[in-house]
């Protein structure tokens, strides 16, 4: 395969890794004691991963921002030797933990809350002893800790933990985080993972959003919500996070923003807009609904029956002021009525739909033009267009169909296409939806048409604000995704993500139409931070941006600027697959000159590539790009790609010749400073910034770029002169997460009952009352 062909193949298959991250969770850690040889610790390294986690269950109750978290997990020793060690549960960064209780196999045990500084010392001690840097990513967190009695081969140990923390609300947005990113510490996938969160608030709850996992949201009035995540057979890789907004506004708007505190770069923002609960009762927009059903011969059988049930669902769930019609097309066209009808005729329409049968060819052009002719520009119109084939009758040229529809459709039309199976023209469907303010849903052969259509319609059945326009004021936003804003529906929320140049407070204006009048909503003193913020935002923005760019390339052809952006973002954020592994393994894959050559090769390959518009590959690519462009969760490495690509905070790393290499590293322009593994310089580098520690936790061999300077971890005999570590970034979190300096009921040496824990028999820590970790292990005489 030529280099140009490889670049084209890799660029197209970038989608394979760019699917939103697969759900995965983790838990507390049992750190095994290292073996002792002749009175000294045996030379390592010793992996932390020695136990399997059978299940992990989390129940969270949040009442007026006080969160009580109860954890239930079972560890299993699948080895043929006894495992003994220490249980460590990294606390959420900055969490104000007020009390905790710990049980092992149902019995209460003595435990300890470590301050952030104590936890850092403990993590470093473990890293030195095991020669495994994995725990370094938690250096900015406190921890709960307890000793674990020996676990025999084949035996299990059940650990339950409960702790309480106060959640902070910033600008009406509350954030809950559960520490789950310990995927490297389970030897097997978790058989069962459950996270259930119930929120009860005195203030009305508006938007609910998880940037980490796909959750099911249920509302019980405007003051209570529940969020649930469930999975089986998963390998953990990220913390669980949930945001929810509080407010009285008819349409609430809240913003998250991030700006790298170490780099002079523009910021990233995410805006959540959601109507108040119950908005459908007093502000629903009256609309017109047209269903266009393909009844050609290829729809015969189960597909036709499912399509009819989907249409019946829609007409039975119209709002009181809605009008509707149903069109069925093949070689000919039949309609339920000659004009739009009132919703009270739903029963008659159901009988008409039930009598439909499949036969003939596929005249898509005629069906679309008839639907457009029935609409006017005074009311919003939803057109649900369902087909399983290519145009074979009448006008069949794609560009002619698009031009005809562009001339005929009113601006009020919102066209939502449903492509059934693989024999559809994906470019036609996606271009139609894009041009008419809608979206395309692909119903694959093993999926149910009725379920897909009814689930979609339930989300869009009640528009509350249409023709949206967003003005972010003086922050100078750009690269906003989506570029064209969709309508806002009752029970839903709008997520907009982009970049910004100017930090500080601004006034946001959101405007739109409610039936025949314009409305504007203003939100004053909204802050876009100058430093810090949630670090998932850059990767989420890149996920959506790449999805939008790939979609444009597919629908409108290759241009140099778009290809340049796709390649650079894929490299910067590590969006690659095994098919693009040359980015990881070739010495010239990184660096300014190399990337320029890559862009040129990719552009030429795309220009010469034939267009694939239908078939399985075309449909799966279109569905993947659509998922990326609207992703709520940032893409992450999956499958084989995860063996050569890792992420740490906002950074991505490629495995190059056994070294985890920062994608910001330019081998032609940078000479790395050598840092001996496990040296004082090494731990000083890790302690300088949390994102640096997270990068070093990837393994003993790492190249990381900080403030434009490259650092490479090496064995002691390969080191050079002592290094100057980067200046630390001041954190707004307290040095002791939620803990006062003086002893209290939440002091590290005091249990949840307020009684000071004894030195012996409890968890270890560094301090006058506790044996140092190394000595404790050696005295056990393993």
pLDDT digits (tens, 9 = 90+) for 365-383: 999 999 999 998 778 899 9
Q: What does each C-alpha distance from 760 to 85, 87, 749 come to in angstroms?
A: 15, 16, 12
Q: What does each C-alpha distance from 647 to 122, 660, 683, 695 come to in angstroms?
A: 24, 10, 20, 8
Residue 606 above 50 pLDDT?
yes
**Tokens 């470093």 — which residue?**
124
Residue 398 above 80 pLDDT?
yes
pLDDT confidence bin for 631, thresholds 50/70/90: confident
Nearest CA among 780, 754, 751, 756 for reference residue 769: 756
Q: Per-residue pLDDT tens for 56-110?
A: 899 999 998 899 999 898 888 888 888 887 888 888 776 667 667 888 888 888 7
- Asked if 180 contacts 90 with a C-beta cutoff of 8 angstroms, the reply is no
- Distance (Å, whole) CA 258 – CA 532: 5
pLDDT confidence bin for 44, thresholds 50/70/90: low
Residue 573 above 60 pLDDT?
yes
Token pair for 578? 């095994």
Nearest CA among 374, 296, 287, 282 for reference residue 328: 296
593: exposed, middle or buried (Cβ count in 10 Å: 0-12, 13-18, 19+): exposed
- Distance (Å, whole) CA 379 – CA 490: 17
Q: Per-residue pLDDT tens for 587-601?
A: 556 778 777 887 887
Element (H, E) at 306: helix 302-316
pLDDT confidence bin for 181, thresholds 50/70/90: low
- Distance (Å, whole) CA 42 – CA 680: 21
Three-class DSSP category at 28: coil
CA 500 from chain centre, in angstroms, equals: 21
């Amino acid at each position: 395969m030529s280099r140009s062909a490889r670049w084209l193949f890799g660029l197209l298959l970038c989608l394979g890794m760019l699917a939103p991250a697969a759900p995965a969770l983790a838990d507390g850690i049992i750190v095994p004691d290292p073996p002792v040889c002749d009175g000294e610790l045996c030379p390592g390294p010793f992996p932390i991963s020695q136990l399997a986690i059978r299940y992990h269950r989390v129940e969270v109750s949040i009442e007026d921002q006080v969160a009580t978290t109860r954890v239930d997990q079972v560890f299993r020793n699948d080895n043929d030797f006894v495992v003994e060690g220490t249980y460590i549960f990294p606390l959420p960064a900055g969490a104000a933990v007020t009390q905790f209780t710990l049980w092992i196999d149902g019995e209460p045990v003595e435990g300890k809350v470590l301050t952030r500084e104590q936890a850092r010392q403990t993590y470093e001690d473990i890293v030195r002893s095991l020669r495994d840097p994995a725990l370094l990513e938690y250096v900015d967190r406190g921890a709960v800790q307890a000793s674990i009695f020996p676990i025999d081969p084949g035996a299990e140990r059940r650990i339950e933990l409960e702790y309480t923390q106060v959640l902070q609300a910033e600008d009406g947005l509350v954030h809950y985080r559960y520490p789950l990113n310990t995927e490297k510490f389970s030897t097997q996938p978790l058989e069962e993972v459950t996270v259930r969160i119930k929120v009860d608030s005195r203030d009305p709850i508006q938007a609910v959003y998880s940037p980490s996992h796909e959750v099911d949201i249920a509302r019980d009035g405007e003051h209570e919500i529940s969020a649930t995540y469930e999975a089986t057979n998963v390998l953990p890789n990220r913390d669980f996070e949930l945001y929810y907004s509080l407010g009285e506004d008819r349409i609430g708007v809240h913003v998250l923003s991030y700006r790298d505190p170490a780099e002079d770069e523009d910021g990233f923002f995410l805006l959540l807009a959601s109507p108040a609960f119950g908005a459908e009762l007093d502000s629903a927009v009256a609309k017109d609904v047209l269903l266009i059903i393909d009844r050609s011969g290829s729809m015969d059988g189960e597909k036709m029956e499912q399509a009819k049930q989907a249409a019946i669902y829609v007409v039975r769930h119209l709002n009181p002021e809605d009008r509707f019609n149903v069109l069925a097309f093949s070689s000919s066209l039949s309609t339920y009525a000659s004009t739009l009808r009132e919703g009270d005729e739903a029963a008659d329409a159901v009988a008409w739909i039930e009598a439909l049968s499949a036969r003939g060819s596929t005249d898509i052009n005629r069906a679309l033009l008839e639907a457009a002719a029935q609409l006017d520009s005074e009311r919003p119109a939803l057109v649900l267009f369902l087909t399983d084939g290519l145009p074979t009758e009448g006008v069949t040229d794609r560009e002619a169909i698009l031009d005809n529809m562009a001339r005929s459709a009113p601006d009020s039309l919102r066209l939502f296409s449903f492509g059934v199976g693989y024999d559809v023209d994906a470019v036609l469907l996606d271009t139609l939806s894009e041009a008419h303010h809608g979206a395309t849903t692909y119903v694959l052969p093993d999926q149910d048409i009725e379920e897909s259509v009814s689930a979609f319609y339930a989300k869009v059945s009640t528009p509350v604000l249409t023709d949206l326009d967003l003005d972010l004021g003086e922050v100078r936003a750009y690269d906003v995704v989506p570029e064209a804003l969709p309508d806002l529906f009752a029970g839903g929320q709008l997520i907009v993500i982009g970049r910004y140049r100017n930090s500080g407070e601004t006034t946001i204006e959101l405007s739109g139409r409610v039936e025949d009048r314009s409305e504007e909503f203003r939100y004053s003193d909204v802050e876009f931070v100058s430093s810090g913020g949630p670090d998932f935002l850059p990767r989420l923005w890149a996920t959506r941006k790449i999805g939008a760019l790939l979609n444009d390339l597919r629908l409108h052809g290759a241009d140099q600027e778009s290809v340049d952006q796709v390649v650079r973002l894929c490299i910067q954020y590590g969006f690659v697959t095994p098919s693009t592994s040359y980015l990881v393994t070739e010495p010239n894959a990184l660096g300014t000159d190399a990337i320029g050559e890559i862009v040129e090769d990719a552009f030429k390959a795309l220009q010469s590539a034939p267009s694939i518009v239908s078939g399985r590959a075309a449909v799966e690519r279109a569905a993947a790009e659509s998922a990326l462009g609207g992703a709520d969760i940032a893409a992450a490495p999956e499958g084989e790609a995860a063996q050569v690509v890792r992420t740490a905070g906002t950074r991505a790393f490629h495995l190059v010749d056994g070294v985890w290499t920062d994608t910001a590293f330019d081998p032609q322009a940078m000479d790395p400073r050598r840092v001996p593994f496990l040296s004082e310089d090494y731990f000083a580098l890790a302690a300088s910034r949390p994102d640096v520690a997270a990068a070093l936790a990837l393994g003993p061999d790492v190249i990381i770029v900080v403030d434009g300077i490259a650092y490479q971890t090496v064995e002691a005999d390969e080191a050079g002169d002592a290094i100057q570590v980067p200046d630390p970034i001041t954190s707004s979190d307290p040095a002791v997460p939620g803990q006062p300096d003086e002893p209290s009921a939440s002091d590290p040496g005091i249990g949840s009952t307020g009684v000071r824990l004894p030195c012996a028999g409890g968890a270890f820590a560094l301090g006058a009352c506790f044996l140092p970790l190394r000595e404790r292990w050696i005295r056990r005489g393993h």
